[in-house]
Amino acid sequence: MKKERETLTEKAYRIIKNDILYGKFKQNEVISINALSDELGISRTPITNAFQKLELEDFVTVLPKQGVFVKPITITETREIYELRAAIETFSAKRAFDMINEENIEWLKESVKKQKKFLEDEDYQSFMVEDVDFHKYILEIYKNSKFKNIIDNLYNKALMLGIIGSEMEGRAMAAIHEHEQIIESLEKKDKESFVNSIEDNVINGYVNLTGNYKKY
């Protein structure tokens, strides 16, 4: 089946969203639609449409006659993102545990190898993408489309935050060790350890960004 050609709005949306996620456009930065139109070689209308979609996804605020404001992620929102991630991922982990097979475990091991290589190369952006893929892979074993729709946006926000936080090499190394603990729990068929290791890994990401966390 022939793949449909990407529209200009879709192209603009993809490029701009990636530039926000990977830090080219910083939080609190005001983006000029005219300047971006010249840079991308795309007219204002598709770019404006792309920003309207990104505004609905809570990445930007469109300011009439001023440009587009990249929304900062507050401390409160950061906590909410990681708490919701932890809730969804641990719930999914409990239900996915008995579905996980040797092939799945091998995939996770390969992912950890990639993470180590990215860290050795000081490629923190690729490390964070692979880190998110590691978590998404486990989540998607428990097939809940509603969870996927919710958490995709959370992963994008976590990716934005992680690109900043992962440049602290110590946290990246700790995250890899935590991923290895998750795999070890699967190999030992220890469900409780598996679920707890996932929760700890998510919450430790939050602690890395904010310096503290209190479980209730």
Look at the chain and count its residues.
Answer: 216
pLDDT in tens, 24-52: 888 888 998 999 999 999 999 999 999 99
Q: What is the DSSP string of 19-57?
A: HHHTTSSPTTPEEPHHHHHHHHT--HHHHHHHHHHHHHT
Q: Which CATH architecture has domain 8-70?
A: Orthogonal Bundle (1.10)
Q: Could you tell me which CATH class the domain 75-210 is placed in?
A: mainly alpha
Does the reported pTM lie above 0.85? no
pLDDT in tens, 166-212: 455 677 889 999 999 999 999 999 999 999 999 999 998 877 766 65
The confidence score (pLDDT) of residue 160 equals 77
The token duo for 22 is 């990977």
In angstroms and rounded to an integer, the radius of gyration of the C-alpha atoms of the chain is 19
Q: Judge contact between 134 and 162, C-beta under 8 A.
A: no
The token duo for 103 is 């092939």
* Spatial distance between the Cα atoms of 26 and 69, rounded to a whole number of angstroms: 10
Angle at 17 between CA 160 and CA 35, to 5 degrees: 115
Indicate if the pLDDT at residue 55 is higher than 60. Answer: yes
For the chain, domain boundaries = 8-70, 75-210
pLDDT averaged over the chain? 87
3-class SS at 176? Answer: helix
Name the helix (H) or strand (E) containing 117.
Answer: helix 102-120
* Spatial distance between the Cα atoms of 66 and 108, rounded to a whole number of angstroms: 46
Q: Which residue has the tokens 């097979």?
A: 101
